[in-house]
């Protein structure tokens, strides 16, 4: 009998060892596949779209915590194309946000990346907006209009629909600007409120913090590896690359991980 049990245990372990990690790992909140999250992109690249690290870290942590996710982006031209080597607009180039965002997908881009116009809050448990300058250039007119900015119609619709449905909203780096503009009395973090330059990094975008406060939001100071949770409004934010660092990317990774975990926690309530 003992030999039979040992043999069965070995066979079971052999089967499990051949499964993908996602099959074995259940995540911290719920089993694999029970939570469906929409992730909204604005292009590809920190200076003119979604930051590559923030987008990838978000998807990694969703996968690691047992979520399914669908990628969305507006099927429209982005504001401009930036030369990321020179940090200046590239002349004569025009790019589509959805096509650029599809660079984040693996395999069939048409299946993994969809037009933001078809995103229905009823089909998802939560929504996350990774950061990058696409937030203030493509998904809103913040770059030009500041606190009086207008949001892309579908971005505004999605934020209001998820908020109305009491479903969590995740935001990293510049993305709180979007929620603060259209959702009343929310609490967020975008990091520090003044630039405290150290050898580890700096906070060059603190003017945006003052702007969201002028929109009526309450701001909470947090480190780049932390997340702030507005339990009442189900809004979770993390500073991410509001903190400018040359190589301490693991802090950004951890901050987005904390944001995702809280989004997952609230989506199971």
pTM of the model: 0.87
CA atoms within 13 A on the CB side of 229: 11
Question: Stretch 83-107: mean pLDDT, rounded?
Answer: 84
On the question of pLDDT at 238 being above 60, the answer is: yes
Q: How far is CA 176 from CA 128, 189, 220, 237, 245, in A?
A: 11, 8, 12, 7, 20
Distance from C-alpha of 239 to C-alpha of 223, rounded to nearest angstrom = 7
Which are the contacts of 253, defined by CB distance < 8 A and separation ≥ 6?
53, 57
The CATH code that applies to domain 36-267 is 3.40.50.880
Query: By mean pLDDT, which of 36-45, 90-99, 184-193, 215-224 is the weakest?
Result: 90-99
Q: Using pLDDT thresholds of 50, 70 and 90, give the confidence band for residue 6.
A: low
CB 49 within 8 A of CB 134: yes
On the question of pLDDT at 66 being above 90, the answer is: yes
CB 117 within 8 A of CB 144: no
On the question of pLDDT at 145 being above 80, the answer is: yes
Task: Summarize pLDDT for 21-57 with one digit per residue, the tens.
Answer: 444 445 555 445 689 999 999 999 998 899 999 999 9
Q: How far is CA 48 from CA 86, 89, 90, 96, 265, in A?
A: 13, 9, 11, 11, 31
Question: Stretch 93-120: mean pLDDT, rounded?
Answer: 87
Q: Using pLDDT thresholds of 50, 70 and 90, give the confidence band for residue 108.
A: low
Task: Please tell me what DSSP assigns to residue 243.
Answer: S
């Amino acid at each position: 009998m003992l030999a039979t049990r040992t043999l069965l245990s070995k066979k079971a372990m052999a089967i499990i060892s051949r499964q993908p990690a996602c099959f074995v790992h259940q995540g911290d909140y719920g089993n694999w596949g029970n939570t469906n999250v929409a992730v909204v992109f604005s292009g590809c690249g920190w200076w003119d779209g979604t930051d590559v690290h923030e987008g990838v870290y978000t998807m990694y942590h969703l996968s690691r915590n047992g979520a399914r996710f669908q990628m969305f982006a507006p099927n429209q031209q982005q504001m401009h194309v930036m030369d990321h080597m020179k940090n200046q607009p590239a002349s004569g180039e025009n790019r589509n946000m959805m096509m650029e965002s599809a660079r984040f997908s693996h395999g069939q881009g048409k299946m993994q990346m969809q037009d933001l116009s078809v995103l229905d809050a009823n089909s998802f448990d939560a929504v996350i907006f990774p950061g990058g300058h696409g937030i203030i250039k493509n998904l809103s007119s913040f770059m030009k209009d500041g606190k009086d900015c207008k949001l892309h119609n579908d971005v505004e619709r999605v934020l209001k629909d998820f908020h109305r449905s009491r479903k969590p909203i995740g935001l990293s780096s510049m993305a709180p600007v979007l929620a603060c503009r259209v959702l009343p009395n929310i609490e967020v973090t975008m990091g520090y409120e003044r630039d405290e330059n150290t050898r580890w990094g700096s906070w060059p975008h603190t003017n945006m913090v003052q702007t969201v406060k002028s929109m009526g939001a309450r701001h909470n100071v947090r480190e780049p590896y932390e997340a702030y949770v507005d339990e009442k409004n189900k809004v979770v934010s993390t500073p991410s690359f509001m903190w400018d660092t040359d190589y301490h990317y693991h802090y950004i990774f951890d901050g987005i991980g904390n944001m995702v975990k809280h989004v997952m926690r609230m989506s199971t309530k």
